[in-house]
Amino acid sequence: PYHVGINQNLFLEASLHSSDPLLELFLDTCVASPTRHNFTTRTYPIIKNGCVKDPTYAAYYSPQRNIVRFKFNAFQFIQSNPEVYLQCELVVCRVYDYSSRCHQGCLQRSKREASS
């Protein structure tokens, strides 16, 4: 566990342990949950499909493509225990594959028109 006060910055770093310099990481989704076993209900999205959902989120520069650095403000779920669990999904891509998920960035889902 990592202890941090409410509204303090929480800094995170993810790294890919590979000797291949042509691989890079992309943070696709990062979700918070009040329980460690359920990341589908009562969750709070920080990043979803590469899109920033939390206004306190900020990405940080990394000199290496196999490292992702970011921060957001710590929070607590209302009427819950003081613990918050994170589950993040990262994508590994080839550096110069411009059609890869890493180079697509934020994927906005288009809303479909409902038929009458």
pTM for this entry: 0.83
Mean predicted lDDT score pLDDT of the chain? 89
For the stretch 59-92, pLDDT in tens is 999 989 999 999 999 888 877 778 889 999 999 9
Q: Is residue 104 part of a domain?
A: no
Q: Is residue 69 part of a domain?
A: yes
Q: Is residue 1 part of a domain?
A: no
Q: Is residue 67 part of a domain?
A: yes
Q: Is residue 114 part of a domain?
A: no
Q: Is residue 88 part of a domain?
A: yes
CA distances from 85 to 33, 98, 109 (A): 5, 33, 26
User: What single-letter amino acid sits at 64?
Assistant: Q
Q: What is the pLDDT of residue 111?
A: 56
CATH number, position 35: 2.60.40.4100
Residue 74, number of CB atoms within 10 A of its CB: 17
Euclidean distance between CA atoms 81 and 37, whole angstroms: 14
**Number of structural domains the chain divides into:** 1
Euclidean distance between CA atoms 116 and 113, whole angstroms: 9
The answer to whether residue 116 scores a pLDDT higher than 50 is no
Bridge partners for 89 per DSSP: 29
> 52: helix, coil or strand?
strand
Q: Is residue 103 part of a domain?
A: no
17: containing domain: 8-97
The answer to whether residue 93 scores a pLDDT higher than 50 is yes
Q: What is the pLDDT of residue 39?
A: 87
